[in-house]
Chains A and B, each alone.
Chain A
Amino acid sequence: MALNLSEQQAAFQFKGGALTVTTLELFTADVLMIADELSQQTRRAPAFFSQTPVVLAFDKLDQDESVALDLIVATCKQAGLVPIAVRCAQDAIKQSARALGLGWFPPQSERRLREISEKVEQQVIAARKPPRIVRNTVRSGQQLYAKDTDLVVLGSVNEGAEVIADGNVHVWGALRGRSIAGAQGDQSTRIFCQQFKAELVSIGGIFQTFESYDWPEAVERPIEIYLDDERLIIGS
């Protein structure tokens, strides 16, 4: 029998997942004010309010403010919203939520917010890796990629070669091949070269190809290429 257990069909399955849920963040416990504003909003976008699950958040209210949760829930239901849970620190609200059959989320604590901002900061620091430096000429058929950083080529990039960076691309010699900066989509990146004869340049996914004699006057000067309002600017 035990062997057959695995073949039995399960009645259900728990699945974790992140759903996007609208949070109704209350700035007041005044039911009349809430009802008034809700009805205005409902008229403006009725489709949005029809059977939309919401979480009622009380984080912004004072700790000791008395809240008539049952009235607020009723008001929401009138407007077409379906309250599914509350988010609060107050024990009283948590108790009434249980009575009304609503779920409970812990409040978004300061600590959690701080953790998030610290994490973001760490990510920014991690993204700033030392540049990849290439000392020789990049030749036809060769492709170089500097992941999460800048690429510095001390030689030239010849026709048929490709230099790609998630950050900026610096070419100390002549750029004759293809150069792609901001390969992950960063549109603030730039391309620099001492001589511009490129076949193609791209910044943050916006690219342009060049016929051989498009820039005769730009050939002998240092050139900087950047994006201005999604337009490639080639300047010196």
Chain B
Amino acid sequence: MAKVVVITSGKGGVGKTTSCASIGTALAMQGFRTVLIDFDVGLRNLDLVMGCERRVVYDLINVLSGEAKLSQALIKDKRLDGLYMLPASQTRDKDALTLEGVEEIINELKEDFDYILCDSPAGIERGALLAMYFAEEAVIVTNPEVSSVRDSDRIIGLLDSKTRMAEQGQAVPSRLLITRYNPERVEQSEMMSVKDIEEILAIPLVGVVPESEAVLKASNQGIPVVHDQESDAGQAYSDMTARFLGEERDMRFAEIEKKGFFSRMFGGRR
């Protein structure tokens, strides 16, 4: 039976879409049939990060309104088998999203997939609430910054009250993914530490992704950063996904790495 996972944060620009693309890709690499749904209706982004923007014909709203079949709107990833995405609409507004419509689509996808990842829009409006409503698990993406932590806190509160699981008296298991982490700046008290964030949000940590140039490069090229296993961010997403699946792995990238001789000589940053 498929698992519905929402990738959410409250605040915008913290790396939800980047994380969704990389987690989905990593799950597909492990052999799980995975589909990514972009709920950010009006601001299509996930297709760009996945590098399939030129193959978008039909979108989520077309399916919801019956103008296209689900199979017509699903875009198959060109690099991995078993990875699909359902793009958001750029031309229609978010009022076209309905609870019943979303439920129908998710139920249909459940028959064919192992993981359904819902990429939530920022904010706590309709789009974000619909993205989380059917979630059976949540990944909370947070930057080491007070405003991001506070918005994540708000979102966890909503997950505990505004989801189907909450209405049935259960809590949606939520896990914390810290992105854009820079241990050196934490050392200088410019950034919140993993410990501070964990203490406030009080949910288990699933991964720490370091601040990395590789992320921006990967997004612009339309290749999820997890494909770049040379990069620290790519490795961090692999680790995170493994932990998400229940494996135990050391939490790398949360501490300052001792720089080797060569990198000190050449100031090399990946």
Write the residues of chain A forming the contact surface with B, with a CB cutoff of 8 angstroms: 136-137, 139-142, 155-156, 158-160, 174, 176
Contact = CB atoms under 8 A, between A and B. Distances in A.
B160 A159 contact: no
B88 to A, nearest CB: 26
A156 B158 CA distance: 17
B202 interface: yes
A5 B118 CA distance: 71
B265 interface: no
B155 to A, nearest CB: 9
Given A156-B202, A159-B200, A160-B150, 11 more contacts: A139-B153, A139-B154, A139-B156, A139-B160, A140-B150, A140-B151, A140-B154, A141-B158, A158-B150, A159-B150, A176-B200
Contacts of A141: 153-154, 157-158
Contact of A160 (B153, B160, B199): B153
Nearest to A176: B200
Interface string B90-121: 00000000000000000000000000000000
A176 B154 CA distance: 14
Contact of B202 (A137, A140, A142, A160): A137
Q: For the complex of A and B, list the 4 residue pairs with the smallest distance between their C-beta atoms, beginning with the closest.
A: A139-B157, A140-B153, A140-B154, A141-B154
Interface in B150-171: 150-151, 153-154, 156-158, 160
Interface-central residue, B153, B154, B199, B200, by most chain A CB under 10 Å = B153
Contacts of B151: 140
A155 B202 contact: yes
B10 to A, nearest CB: 9
A155 B150 CA distance: 16
A220 B160 CA distance: 29
Contacts of B199: 174
B24 to A, nearest CB: 27
Nearest to A158: B153
B160 A158 contact: no
Contacts of B154: 139-141, 160
A136 B150 contact: no
Contact of B160 (A136, A140, A156, A176): A136
Interface of B: 150-151, 153-154, 156-158, 160, 199-200, 202
A112 B200 CA distance: 57
27 contacts: A136-B160, A137-B202, A139-B153, A139-B154, A139-B156, A139-B157, A139-B160, A140-B150, A140-B151, A140-B154, A140-B157, A141-B153, A141-B154, A141-B157, A141-B158, A142-B157, A156-B200, A156-B202, A158-B153, A158-B200, A159-B150, A159-B153, A159-B200, A160-B150, A160-B153, A160-B154, A174-B199
Contacts of B158: 141
A160 B199 CA distance: 16
Contacts of B160: 136, 139
Contacts of B156: 139
A122 to B, nearest CB: 36
A137 B176 CA distance: 15
A137 B202 CA distance: 8
A83 B190 CA distance: 80
B220 to A, nearest CB: 33
A159 B197 CA distance: 12
Nearest to A156: B202
A67 to B, nearest CB: 71
B4 to A, nearest CB: 22
B123 to A, nearest CB: 13
Nearest to A197: B200
Nearest to B161: A142
Nearest to A138: B157
A226 to B, nearest CB: 27
A137 B158 CA distance: 13
Contacts of A139: 153-154, 156-157, 160
Contacts of A174: 199
A174 B200 CA distance: 9
A136 B153 CA distance: 13
A156 B200 CA distance: 8
Nearest to B151: A140
A155 B153 CA distance: 14
B77 to A, nearest CB: 36
